[in-house]
Amino acid sequence: MAHKEELQHQIMKKINPACMALSETRLTEEIEDSEVSVPGYNMIRCDAENRNTGGVVLYVRDDIKYDLVLVKKLESNCWCAAIEMKDEIYKGVLMVVYHSPSASDGEFVRFLENIVEQMTVKEECIIIGDFNIDFMIDSFYMKKLQIIMQSLGMKQYVYEPTRITKDSRTIIDLIFANKEVKVQVQHEPKITDHAWLKIELKGNSIVDSLDVTAPRKKCKIPKIWEGKKWFSEEIREAAVRRDAAYRKALYENTDQNWIQFKVERNAVVTLIRKKKKEYYESMIDFNRDDPAAMWKTLKEIVRDVNKFEDIGEGLIYINENQEIFENFDMIKIDYLEEIIMGLSRRKGTEEGISSDILKAAFYVIQEEFVNIINTSLREGCFPESWKTSTII
Q: Which of 224, 249, 272 marks a domain boundary?
A: 224
Span 288-346, pLDDT tens digits:
777 777 777 776 666 554 443 333 333 333 333 344 445 556 656 777 787 888 877 65
The parent domain of residue 84 ranges over 4-224
| 51 and 176 together in one domain | yes
| 63 and 102 together in one domain | yes
| 281 and 378 together in one domain | no
| 67 and 112 together in one domain | yes
pLDDT recorded at residue 204: 45
| Inside any domain, residue 371 | yes
pLDDT recorded at residue 14: 66
Judge residue 222's burial from the number of C-beta atoms within 10 Å of its C-beta, 0-12 exposed, 13-18 middle, 19 or more buried. middle
Q: How far apart are CA 134 and CA 118, in angstroms?
A: 25
| 189 and 118 together in one domain | yes
Task: For residue 96, name the pLDDT band (cuts at 50, 70, 90).
Answer: very high
| Inside any domain, residue 291 | no
Give, in order, the Cα–Cα distances in Å from 69 to each of 94, 179, 348.
9, 19, 36
pLDDT recorded at residue 38: 82
| Inside any domain, residue 160 | yes
Average the pLDDT over each of 195-204, 223-232, 239-248, 343-352 and give the range with the smallest value: 223-232
SS3 129: strand
Does pLDDT of 78 surpass 60? Answer: yes
Which of 15-19, 42-46, 192-196, 298-302 holds the top average pLDDT?
42-46
Q: Which residues of 80-100 are buried (b: 16+ CB within 10 A; e: fewer)?
A: bbbbbbebebbebbbbbbbbb
Write down the mean pLDDT value for the chain: 76
| 333 and 234 together in one domain | no
Q: Are 185 and 194 in contact (CB under 8 A)?
A: no
| 181 and 69 together in one domain | yes
* φ/ψ of residue 365, rounded to 5: -105, 10
| Inside any domain, residue 154 | yes
Give, in order, the Cα–Cα distances in Å from 335 to each of 44, 48, 187, 270, 328.
38, 32, 44, 26, 14
- Report the predicted TM-score, pTM, of the whole model to 2 decimal places: 0.56
pLDDT recorded at residue 346: 59
Q: Angle 234-239-243 (CA atoms, 0-180°, nearest 5)?
A: 150
Does pLDDT of 65 surpass 50? Answer: yes
